[in-house]
Amino acid sequence: MTLNDEEKHQKRMQIKKAMIDEKVAKATEERGVLIVLSGPGKGKSSSGFGTIIRALGHGYKAAVVQFIKGTWDCGERNFIQERCPEVPFIVMGSGFTWETQNKEQDREAAQQAWQQTKVLLQDESIHLVLLDELTYILKYGYIDAEEVYEALRNRPREQSVIITGRGAPVPLKELADTVSMIDDKKHAFRGGIKARKGVEW
């Protein structure tokens, strides 16, 4: 007996469906997850914000802390603040560290943002918290990494957290349930194209 193209496709898809169904059946634990999005490629913060609207789209409460881009014009912040005023949105007061060039000022701003973040990480009503660009704050030592890991471990069981930024520390990745490393294979910027409003920021 020979199978025609349509039958072959159906058979392949049946096998694929069975494999996927089996994997799905094995994943039974229900709880919030810690997701780390790191690496040099484009897509970390935007993925965090895309997941925020995913949560909102199901009627869940979500919150955002922006640790770095505080002083920059930023489309995703404009959008959430204008259209989703119910979303707690904390912005670290200074800018990128190579813009301010003032360690003390940055450290203070980071500490302030972190104190507000800790409150979010204890709030059972919040389904998803985005800690955008937190890794840089850890890297510069502006907040105590152990204190951060402790707060993440002790958060409400149903709460998920997304942390973005280059150079995620190893203990953070170990603590995480999901780690995506975004590789920069090609970037318009290196091709001489100016960073695009409404795409890059």
56 binds its own copies (CB under 8 A): yes
Residue whose tokens read 């302030």: 112
Smallest distance, its own copies to C-beta of residue 123, A = 15
CA distances in angstroms from 189 to 42, 75, 92, 201, listed in the order given: 11, 19, 26, 13
Beta carbon nearer to its own copies, 82 or 146? 82
Smallest distance, its own copies to C-beta of residue 177, A = 4
Tell me the window of 63-71, 86-94, 110-118, 175-183 that interacts with its own copies (CB under 8 A). Answer: 175-183
Smallest distance, its own copies to C-beta of residue 65, A = 16
CA 178, distance to chain mean position in Å, is 11
Which residue type is seen at 31? R
Tokens (6 digits) for 65: 């802390």
177 binds its own copies (CB under 8 A): yes
Classify 126 as helix, strand or coil: coil
Tell me the window of 30-38, 85-93, 109-117, 142-150 that interacts with its own copies (CB under 8 A). Answer: 30-38
Of 69-108, which residues contact its own copies (CB under 8 A)? 74-80, 82-84, 97-104
66 binds its own copies (CB under 8 A): no
47 binds its own copies (CB under 8 A): yes
Helix axes 103-120, 145-153, angle to 10 degrees: 10
Beta carbon nearer to its own copies, 9 or 144? 9
Tell me the window of 38-46, 85-93, 109-117, 147-155 that interacts with its own copies (CB under 8 A). Answer: 38-46
Report whether 201 contacts 58 (CB < 8 A).
no
CA distances in angstroms from 103 to 69, 100, 148, 168, listed in the order given: 16, 8, 20, 20
Task: Classify residue 93 by its DSSP letter.
Answer: S
Tell me the window of 15-23, 85-93, 108-116, 142-150 that interacts with its own copies (CB under 8 A). Answer: 15-23
Of 131-170, which residues contact its own copies (CB under 8 A)? 160
CA 15, distance to chain mean position in Å, is 34
Size of the site for its own copies (CB under 8 A): 88
CA distances in angstroms from 184 to 85, 138, 145, 166, 190, listed in the order given: 34, 22, 27, 11, 11
